[in-house]
Amino acid sequence: MPIQISQLHIEVLDAFFDAMLAGYTAETKPAKVPVPELPGAKCTKFTQGRYQVIDLWWTGVDPRHSFGQTIITRDGVPIWQMGYAGWYEPEAIPFLKEALRETYAKRIFLGGRGPVHYQKTLEYCNRIDIDQSWKKFQGREDVYQRSKQSKLLGYHEYRGGLLINL
């Protein structure tokens, strides 16, 4: 039986937001599973009903650099993905997670990342270049230390969307 777009929209985004709040941005660290077939990779898995959210990432020799992919499967079939890559200074990571939680907790999809602008001790900016909601998106997020001389503390470029035709 074909799934209705509104039903798919609700189910996929519910699984995504719940997984992100329980995963990378969680106050308590989720279990990270090594992936033997992919040396250096780490993974978290989150299951909700018929959906599984797999967040898979690598860090380089310089641990500031990372790249990864978030995949949502429905009944074991990949239906959505988001890829990301970039770097962050260690001091930017807690603030980055706070900014991401800001949109995830409100269940607002902005390229699968944080708000367009978020500022407290540091500044987070999310520029969405392609915005077809969760179906197709692309952009870049940055974290800055603002002062007379702004200092970039890191960024991630991201892109993704549906892997099925509706």
Number of other CB atoms surrounding residue 49 within 10 Å: 10
* Residue 128 pLDDT class (50, 70, 90 cuts): very high
Q: Model-level pTM greater than 0.85?
A: yes
Taking only the tens place, the pLDDT of each residue in 3-23 is 455 888 899 999 999 999 999
80, 44, 83: which is closest to 67 by C-alpha?
83
Domain ranges of the chain: 5-162
113, 62, 120: which is closest to 87 by C-alpha?
62
**Amino acid code (one letter) for 143:** V
43, 87, 104, 80: which is closest to 160 by C-alpha?
80
Spatial contact of 40 and 32, defined as CB atoms under 8 Å apart: no
Taking only the tens place, the pLDDT of each residue in 100-118 is 999 999 999 999 999 999 9
**pLDDT for residue 4:** 52
Taking only the tens place, the pLDDT of each residue in 41-91 is 999 999 999 999 999 999 878 889 999 999 999 999 999 999 999 999 999
Alpha-carbon span 19 to 73, nearest angstrom? 12
